[in-house]
Amino acid sequence: MEGFTYVDIFATKGIEYILVIFFLMLFLLFASLTFRSKGGTKAVGRELRSGLSLWFRVPEFLYYHQGHTWVLPEGEKIAKVGVDDFAQRLVGKVDGLELPKRGSEILQGEKALRLKVEGKEIEMLAPLDGEVVDINEEVLRNPSRMLEDPYGDGWLLRVYSPNLRANLRNLITGHLARRWIEMVRDNLLSRMDYRLGLVLQDGGIPVEGMARGLDRERWDELVREFFLTKE
Amino acid sequence: MMEIGERAGRGYLLPSFGRLVVFLLYCAGLVLVFLKELKPKGKVFTPFNVITLPVILTGIFLVLRHLFEGLSAGSNVSQEFPWGVFIGFNVMVGVPFAGGAYVLAFVVYILNSEKYHPIIRPTILNGFLAYVFYASAIFLDLGRKWNMLNPFLGREFGVSSVLFLVAWHFLLYMIAQLIEFSPVVAEWLGLRRLRKVLASMTLGACVFGIALSTLHQAGLGALFMMAKGKIHPLWYTEFIPVLFFISSIFAGLSVVIVEGSISKRVFRDRMNDEYLNSYEEIVLGLGRAAAVSLFVYFFLKVLIFIHGQGWTYLEGGMGLWFLFEVLGLVLLPCIMFYEGVKRRSVNVIRTAAVITMLGIIVNRLNYSMIAYKWYVPLSARYVPTWQEVVITLTIIFVQLWIFRFVVNRMPVYGEVPEWAREEKRESVFAELGFTLAEGGERYAKR
Amino acid sequence: MTRREFLKLSISGMASFTLSGMFGSRLEAGEARAKREFMGVLVDTTRCIGCRSCELACAEAHGLPIPNIDDASVFSSPRNMDPSHWTVVQRYKTEKGEIFVKRQCMHCNQPACVAACLVRAMKKREEGPVTWDENCMGCRYCMVSCPFDVPKFEYDKAFGRIMKCNMCYERLRIGKIPACVEACPSEALLFGRRRDLLHEAKRRIYGSTGRYFPHVYGETDVGGTGYLYLSAVPFERIGFRTDLGTKAYPEYTTGFLYSVPIVLILWPAFLTGIHHLTKEKKRKEVER
């Protein structure tokens, strides 16, 4: 090193760079394994459903009709329509669905959907005006999809709505939506009998088809009351 | 291709000549489709075309001459000043200007900020094109072009060289950017499955790309570490790499701001409401980030000035030039960005961005030409020839043409096809364990 | 040979080729290096008579255009090395009369050009010479890095080369001494082991009081050079840069180069961490 022989001060650089490449590949694997094991899709979904505080999911970015249908604007005049989580839980397993035909007109606040549950038919209101341009065939074929993912795969209609903006103004969204669903829940709680109460105290959730838990005989009447379609 | 081959194979009576014809027809079809895409959309005789086209044509001629006659053809590079405008301007300035791509990739993909999502695509496209064209500038500047691939092929690996790292980082970063941008191409071509695969690689490409950017932005500065004694002591410091990295942040942000305001006029019809509505808020946010990074950079400059006892070099022209750069082109735009954000004035921010870009140009040219061998008298200094300037402009203009070509065709500014939106929501759902979270949140902001 | 075997062979061949590119030069030279010491040249400017015989010998040895060494007018304007003059003799007028200084590559112990080269076209040979190879890309980073501005590029050719003194490496390998040293009629040039040259230089300085300026240029400058200079006057008066410091030039880049692997390991980990934290936060927000 005193300057009479050559010393390569970068002698190990090549090996270091190879090591770094090796590290990066290994890290990719390592990180993906570490981070994946924690919160898989399914696990999170289940967690959401079982949490007491999360009785009813109300994503704040959607627009809700008080008859428990939702709207997701997809463009200036196009929106998706579905049924909210509360409705699913209240009704429980849906055996069949009746949706308006493609090309038919629906009107905000008018009856538009029909659910078939245990031989009973329950109607729901359209959350906006417009022409039905698409319906979710997948859910028609397999209505339980609606229950599994009410805000995603469980969507029902795609609607062309010329006055979407005006329609949205009549709907509830954001924090208000959460406040609203809390009120609905309190309303529901006040009608609950002790059997359901017990379920709740040990940390359970309102089982699917809560309406039946409340009133075996006239549950459909109760549902219509919540869906604002009671005659 | 496969399909044609099979079809031709099934008809075994078809002689090989016939197969050839089928193949040629197929190729011709492809070319036709491509040519149809090449046809300009919109008017041909726009002011932009009229100005740039002659420059580009002259430039192509000059480049060819350059290739066949050696580096001295129409160039002023000399034994004293081995690096001219191609390296000193196109690369040294172009790379920090393309820095917006990694800064925004960090904000959008690493910090998961939705706000800046609408501008990520044009920025990454810009960054990618910038790198491709600056790589071509380097190619032009090489004296022995046929050996260009040597550092990549291992003839030999000069691992002790800063330039070796910069070259490899350039290459890898271009690949990373291509991956980041590729879903857009897949959307354009309607390739669903491919898009899904490519989109799943985005995060990895970003993480890798940001690390690479940090290093080669700094690396460009580190190139000059061994030019100690040749660069004026006001600019030469052991912290050049740090300064280059930090300045690439606000350089990139300023370019994004300026580019956005030009694009907003030129490509208005290609932008959806989502882009246009969020535009002002985005510019304010970018201005804020630029103000802070300029502020930090200014104090770094002051710190390094004190560390290097810079005041002993302040007299004379170079001292004034240094003060002009630091006060006029760093501190001033910093204050302007601050004012612009405070007054919510896009115009002030835009002006500040232009000044900042100027500051970067001056700073990088200082390292490569002006403060480089400042002791050489003006008569022997490097001044680019008109041919070099034309080639430099050609490189920039061709890049802009390709940018326009891509923006006019691919879903760069919003306009994402419905199926891609859907898929994106799904993938976000899968990641968050929640439905429609991302798309919905954006809508909620409207 | 089956196709498979062929593939296997070519892949392993490629791998070893690539690896040897990275380590080869060191592995094969590893043992020899321990014994071999740098050779160098001591230039005593007090003995140089400005005959330019060295220039002629250099041009002949390397096939460069033959200079007319009888023409003394070349000294009147400042002259520097260029692609066809690997060494030039310069004249300086000082208080101690005219001094002639032979210039060429200094053959640094830790050459900046070698560290700069991204294809190892510039090599520091264990015998001391710094040489140039044909695999050069012509990026001219060596020219930017060299503290003495030695490497010159043939700009006017489509197939340009970097041209500079190579201490007659091809002659050293067959046991000859550099052409310029051989040609010097006044013993101003002395070829030998660098260690011995330093002894000799110091012997001359201390042996004759007042004849020499007490510094051997190249002993410690830029980490030591293969060409060592003696002078009667301070070195800055005969065109040497004395502000270059004693640190070897490649060491100015170590700060950056050593941090590269560190950054490549820490940044991705850090970024991935942030990504997952912010994602977590985002999910919480949505859930609420």
pLDDT tens-digit series, residues B121-135: 899 999 999 998 888
Name the burial class of residue B395, with classes exposed (0-12), middle (13-18) and buried (19+) by CB atoms within 10 angstroms of its CB: buried
Structural domain boundaries enclosing B121: 70-415
Q: Is A11 within 8 Å of C194 when comparing Cβ atoms? A: no
> Do C69 and C36 form a contact (C-beta atoms < 8 A)?
no
Least trusted range by pLDDT, from B66-80, B110-124, B222-236: B66-80
Contacts of A18 by beta carbon, 8 Å cutoff, 6+ apart: C22
Q: Is C257 within 8 Å of A14 when comparing Cβ atoms? A: no
Q: Is A44 within 8 Å of B432 when comparing Cβ atoms? A: yes
Q: Could you report the per-residue pLDDT of C30-75, keeping only the tens digit for each? A: 444 455 899 999 999 999 999 999 999 999 999 999 998 888 888 8
User: Given C158, C252, C287, which is nearest B228 (Cβ)?
Assistant: C252
* Amino acid B424: pLDDT: 59
Q: Is residue B41 part of a domain?
A: no
What CATH code is carried by the domain that includes residue B302?
1.20.1630.10
Structural domain boundaries enclosing A155: 56-226
Q: Which residues of A touch C249 (CB under 8 A)?
A: none
Residue C237 contacts A, CB cutoff 8 Å: no
Instruction: Judge if B438 and B409 occupy the same domain.
Output: no
What CATH code is carried by the domain that includes residue A64?
2.40.50.100
Q: Is C252 within 8 Å of B144 when comparing Cβ atoms? A: no
Residue A10 contacts B, CB cutoff 8 Å: yes
Instruction: Judge if B376 and B432 occupy the same domain.
Output: no
Q: How many domains does chain B have?
A: 2
Question: What average pLDDT is seen over chain B?
Answer: 84
Q: Is residue B284 part of a domain?
A: yes
Q: Is residue B312 part of a domain?
A: yes
Instruction: Judge if B382 and B427 occupy the same domain.
Output: no
User: Given B159, B160, B429, which is nearest A152 (Cβ)?
Assistant: B429
Q: Which of C81, C119, C150 best tests the B interface by mutation, with the highest count of B CBs <10 A? A: C119
User: Given A10, A151, A173, which is nearest B436 (Cβ)?
Assistant: A151
pLDDT mean over C106-122? 94
- The ipTM estimated for the assembled molecules is 0.83
- Give me the sheet containing A111-117, strands edge to edge: A96-98, A111-117, A120-125
Residue C110 contacts A, CB cutoff 8 Å: yes
Q: Which of A46, A37, A18, A29 is nearest to A149 (CA)?
A: A46
Q: Which residues of A touch B436 (CB under 8 A)?
A: 59, 61-62, 72, 151-152
Question: What average pLDDT is seen over chain C?
Answer: 86
User: Given C224, C250, C276, which is nearest A3 (Cβ)?
Assistant: C224
Min Cα distance B306 → chain C (Å) is 20
Question: What average pLDDT is seen over chain A?
Answer: 76
Instruction: Judge if B329 and B437 occupy the same domain.
Output: no
pTM flag (> 0.90):
no
Contacts of A132 by beta carbon, 8 Å cutoff, 6+ apart: A99, A100, A101, A102, A103, A104, A105, A106, A157, A158, A159, A160
Q: Could you report the per-residue pLDDT of C172-197, keeping only the tens digit for each? A: 999 999 999 999 999 999 999 999 99
Q: Is residue A129 part of a domain?
A: yes
Q: Is residue B321 part of a domain?
A: yes
Other beta carbons within 10 Å of B331: 18
The span from the CA of A222 to the CA of A117, in Å, is 14
Instruction: Judge if B354 and B281 occupy the same domain.
Output: yes
Q: Is A43 within 8 Å of B433 when comparing Cβ atoms? A: yes
The CA-CA-CA angle for residues B1, B5, B6, to 5°, reads 120
Q: Is C156 within 8 Å of B437 when comparing Cβ atoms? A: no
Q: pLDDT higher for C27 or B375?
A: B375
Instruction: Judge if B383 and B328 occupy the same domain.
Output: yes
Q: Is C33 within 8 Å of A35 when comparing Cβ atoms? A: no
CATH number, span C31-249 = 3.30.70.20
* Amino acid C241: pLDDT: 93
Q: Is residue B204 part of a domain?
A: yes
Q: Is B110 within 8 Å of C119 when comparing Cβ atoms? A: no
Q: Which residues of A touch C217 (CB under 8 A)?
A: none
Residue of A nearest to B434 (CA): A45
Q: Which residues of C touch B111 (CB under 8 A)?
A: 274-275, 278
* Amino acid A182: pLDDT: 76
Q: Is residue B278 part of a domain?
A: yes
Least trusted range by pLDDT, from B3-17, B252-266, B314-328, B396-410: B3-17
Task: Inform me whether the pLDDT recorded for B430 exceeds 80.
Answer: no
Q: Which of A35, A42, A61, A172 best tests the B interface by mutation, with the highest count of B CBs <10 A? A: A61
The span from the CA of B73 to the CA of B71, in Å, is 5
Instruction: Judge if B253 and B389 occupy the same domain.
Output: yes
Q: Is residue A46 part of a domain?
A: no
For A176-207, letters b (16+ CB in 10 Å) and e give ebbebbeebeeebeeebeeebeebeeeeebbe
Q: How many domains does chain A have?
A: 1
* Amino acid A231: pLDDT: 67
Q: Which residues of C touch A16 (CB under 8 A)?
A: 261
* Amino acid A36: pLDDT: 65
The span from the CA of B14 to the CA of B53, in Å, is 48
Q: Could you report the per-residue pLDDT of A105-159, keeping only the tens digit for each? A: 888 888 888 888 877 888 888 898 888 988 888 888 888 777 777 787 788 888 8
* Amino acid B427: pLDDT: 53
Q: Is residue A42 part of a domain?
A: no
Q: Is residue A23 part of a domain?
A: no
